[in-house]
Amino acid sequence: MCRSIKTLRPPALPEKATEEDMRAAALQYVRKVSGFRAPAEHNREVFDEAVDAVAEATRVLLEGLEVRGAATRA
């Protein structure tokens, strides 16, 4: 049904995760939890809202994480 959600924080991802990376992970999560690869039209709005909310939560999480031993980039 969906591919694995990959780790988006360093050092697993050498560069900072992009909005596209976060949205793709959010979409995979919502697909898995809902059981729908693509929602029916009557569920589209709530499905899309869930993807947006998960993507935002992912952004907040990744911005707030402190990875010990990681080199800081300027």
- pLDDT attached to residue 25: 95
Instruction: Give percent of the chain with pLDDT exceeding 70.
Output: 89
Between helix 44-64 and helix 19-34 the angle, nearest 10°, is 130
Instruction: Count other C-beta atoms under 10 Å from residue 1's C-beta.
Output: 8
Average pLDDT of the residues of the chain: 88
CA atoms lying within 13 Å on the CB side of residue 56: 6
Q: Helix, strand or coil for residue 56? A: helix
The predicted model scores a pTM of: 0.82
Residue 72 has pLDDT above 80, yes or no: no
Q: Where are the domains of the chain?
A: 19-63
> From CA 48, how far away is CA 54, in angstroms rounded?
10
Instruction: Write out pLDDT tens, residues 35-54.
Output: 999 999 999 999 999 999 99
Residues 6+ apart with CB under 8 A from 21: 8, 13
Per-residue model confidence (pLDDT) at position 1: 45
